[in-house]
Structure 1
Amino acid sequence: MKQDLRSKWKNEVLVGDGAMGTYLYTLGFPVGISFEEFNLIRPDVIRDVHRRYVEAGAQVIETNTFSANYYKLSKFGLEHKVEDINREGVRIARQAAGSDGYVLGTVGSIQGGKRMNISSRELKMYFEEQIGALLSEGVDGILFETFFDLEEMRIGLNVVRNLQDVPVICQFAVDDIGRTIDGYAIEEAFAILIQEGADVVGFNCHSGPKGIHSVMDRLHGPLQVPMSVYPNAGLADYVDGEYIYGATPKYFGESALSFADMGSRLIGGCCGTTPEHIAAVASALRGYVPVPLAEVSPLSYDPVDKLVHEHKEEKQDIPKRHRSFPSIVDLVKERHTVIVELDPPRDLDITKFMKGAAALKEAGADALTLADNSLAVTRMSNMALGHLVHSKTGLRPLIHIACRDRNLIGTQSHMMGFDALGIDHVLAVTGDPARFGDLPGASSVYDMTSFEIIRMIKQLNEGIAFSGKPLKQKASFVVGAAFNPNVKYLDKAVQRLEKKIASGADYIMTQPVYDKNLIKEIRRATAHITIPIFIGIMPLASGKNAEYLHNEVPGIQLSEEVLTRMQGLQGEEGRKEGVEIARELVDAAMEHFNGIYLMTPFMFYEMTATLTKYAMEKSKEQKAHLFHL
């Protein structure tokens, strides 16, 4: 009778299999399809891959079910086949493994290291469906692999423990810093998982043998459970449209011995590995007699709630960058405050832009805000111009940052650059899709939503990188969120706004408003909101400008009165009437809000300078009147 896995890996090192997805790619199958669906439509292909790994010496086979959950399969219209794909995956693996082999039901991370708007309840539901199907076919254990954060892993582990008492292996994908993406040191994460019932803990993917070896070197003392290791075949190189992995089978086999000496009892391969790599591992471990796992008590950490407390406490000692002047949030609580938007130029000449910034500073603007390639039109870097504005005029820059143009790497790098330059006021926006701009062939990245980018920027203020790594210094960003009140159902828009506030927004800037009654409605609908709101006002430049904004620009809606007043006007006459309408809107806004957000049309900075002076003088008059009362 076959020995139970828990007993098996106490006294010997088991050889796992290698990659499925990257190996299928090398066999000529294209990317962009669901390899999990092959369990149903090409079972012969999956069975053949399993068979090759078994013939290479693998004793433990993973089911081809890494992404076979509702969320991932829905991208291919296969969400209704979760149970079928997982059940068949176990059957195929069992046929290939034979009577002596072991089959692990493979469960991959749903979030994949991204900050996604998937609730814990949804994750639990997705895991229950997939894991339930795997367990129903009698797998020898469950393997969680390529998880980046502890909290998602805990949800999956608890699902298994509530369903059945089978061996569970929990593998993280981490780099050599050794932290999960939600900020836990790997020892902390392992301690929590062991407390909650993990039989084996370990690593896979993300890096090759050296990177995983570096993390294992940082572990203090032996664990009381076995470890598992499934490295990539080194780092991938992109050559002529293909990903090439450089670690040779010989090197992989040598690394396996090192991992075994460090307490690993299950060793296989991840991305880039082939049956040849697994054959080298099996050859290297043939006849290997492991030292018994040390009989030690669980890792010397306190209960989970204390772990989390200490995890947060350790970051409070990190120094925070000093802010040289009061934040906009502090300022607007004391008096009327004016932010003016001036778009960066579309070419390399910044002469007019800098003149405009100087004029707005002289007019009394409290901050100059710069859009991030608004309407997906390519403009000069707002980071560079924001730095120039501050250094040459002393005016506070408030920089927009869009989710559209940068992935997670680029976004954090960008924010770190802002911090280094002392630019600490930002506005987080989604960004208009690239296909509507001047380079329609460009990619729209959208690694994050506006909610997620707010939350992750505020995470930098806690001294934690997007990856979860601790930073040597805390940032001091004041993060704004955009709000469009020009909608049919204002209360629903406010509900969305509340989510941004919950994500950490410090202040709100609205889209342009052209209706005095709407300003009153905004006050009513947001009366419960405690963070400052800056009412957006953009003076119209002409009748055609008014028609264009009303009919073609998302998020902008003009009242009938404004459209009538601007009809047919152009040139100086149009700008004069536009300023007059804006002045009336400023009056209405100042009755209900301290924050005014002026947007400059077509670089006519004289218009917003005039309105800035007007707002500041009106504010002084109101203060003087109150003083005399």
Structure 2
Amino acid sequence: MKKDLRQALQTSLLTGDGAMGTYLYQLGFPVGVSYEEFNLIKPDVIESVHRRYYEAGARVIETNTFSANAENLSRYGLEHEVERLNREGVRIARQAVGSDAFVVGAVGPVGAGKRKSIGAAQMKQAFEQQIGILLDSGVDGLILETFYDLEELLTALRIVRAGSETPVICQLAVEDSGRTREGTSLQEAFRRLQEEGADAVGFNCVSGPNGIMRAIDMAGLPAGMPLTVFPNAGIPDYVDGTYMYTAGPEYFAESARHFADRGARLIGGCCGTTPEHVAAIAQAFANYTPDVSRPASAVPEQDVLAVQAPAAHRAATQPSGTAGGTDAPAPTIVDLVRQRHTVIVELDPPRDLDIRKFMDGAAALAEAKADAVTMADNSLAVTRMSNIALAALVQERAGIRPLVHIACRDRNLIGTQSHMMGLDALGIDHVLAVTGDPARFGDLPGSSSVYDLTSFEMIRMIKQLNEGTAFSGKPLKQKANFVVGAAFNPNVKYLDKAVQRLEKKIESGADYIMTQPVYDKALIARVAEATRHLSVPLFIGIMPLASGRNAEYLHNEVPGIQLSDEVRRRMAGLEGEAGRAEGVKIAQELLDEAIAHFNGIYLITPFMFYEMTAELTRYVWDKTAARV
């Protein structure tokens, strides 16, 4: 006999289902439509998805009602179909699965987490309508999921508790700051949810297993409170017009056991997951008993902060310039790399207002004689301090050349040209034009992605500024002096096809190439051979690993990065100083191979451990005697 969901969450290890929206997209259904409307117009499709997850082993099935509130449905003219969409969502789910499965009503935030002007009364009314219909339809429980704002989640929870004792799961969508979007600590958020009557708390969406693991380690669970976890399948990558997720089923199975050891009692998947991911979770739990006495681990913050995908994941550009503070124009990065080994080091801007560590890192890299410090432009669509402001400070205070990334995502044509003109006025003439990860995958998913330009077009437009011509075609009275680069991912199955695409970037005007980090010496040699004919220099990417967890995250969740089996084996289980020491050692071995084939070296700083990339910069000079 099936247990009550509340009891099952306390005593059992449950497998949840996976994504609905991204799975429908994967099956060929277009974006920009209401997938909730499929409850009425394509019920057989929704029933099939539920059944696939059930057959894969899921025993907690979410109704296809995440956005089925009046506010979200009004975007599609469906605000008058709230009742039918929710009732059909419950009926279809019940019909698709066996009696041993729990059917829970899925409720998402009003406005889908966007900061739109919805009044408190309007929000409450939307929740009351949807929640009332789901409860009346006889669900086994409710899952309030993907909430960015604690207060909105509490509003929905209070509505449930005002008239029902139905089990309620409350899931926050957070990134690695350890706080909700309005600044509440996760520990405080969970405490308040428990006081208001939540039966389980947890996380879903926004990040993959690694990011949610970090959030758990920082949160601290209230005593006796079950944890639920529904991660994304890693970070999405945009390939040939299609969004792809990188974390595979095997990685999900391994992560599921780690979640269970940390107190998770319901584990499923969010964006990018499929029945294969769910089957892997279910199989991982088949003969597994978690250590229920183990509290969430207290991992030091420096070992759990997220590594941002390196700049080359996005698309590239770069200019020429003056060395900070000198009167005479210095050789450009392209000039230098044609003469000797040259080192560019990536150091990401901070996500808060404290720049001290960043500036310390820039000073350390200048002391190590790095040739340039490169700064991303809100990488992974996560809000960071302006890299232009920091570039000016780096140039002035540290005396090292800044290389600034410019994302197509954040500015229209007007803003992009204005941005570039400002850089020219500041004497910052090395930039990196990047596509930019879609805003909906970042920390402010309600913001818009602009994309007036592609990275190819950005390269051409920057070259147009170098001719003294504005984007509009009007003269600018003088010429800019930007050097433009392009990104290259060598971690692909067909290297020759990737090189052909790279050749088109060079035809667009790219002056040099930066690669994704490479962790295989044999691949470094193959890249050298495959790109030998190119007319522009290539900077080979090397990113030292910080820990075993960091290695697995990069391999499984970050698009465009693949670690060799040997590297993963060497990093397995290493954390803290031991992990960083081995990471530097592996990077030095890779540099030995890279130096033999390339003059251009691109070092990516993991987290803010700039000591690691400063040490590796000095290692390059010791090996090459290129700097004195």
TM-score scaled by length of structure 2: 0.49
The higher radius of gyration belongs to: 1
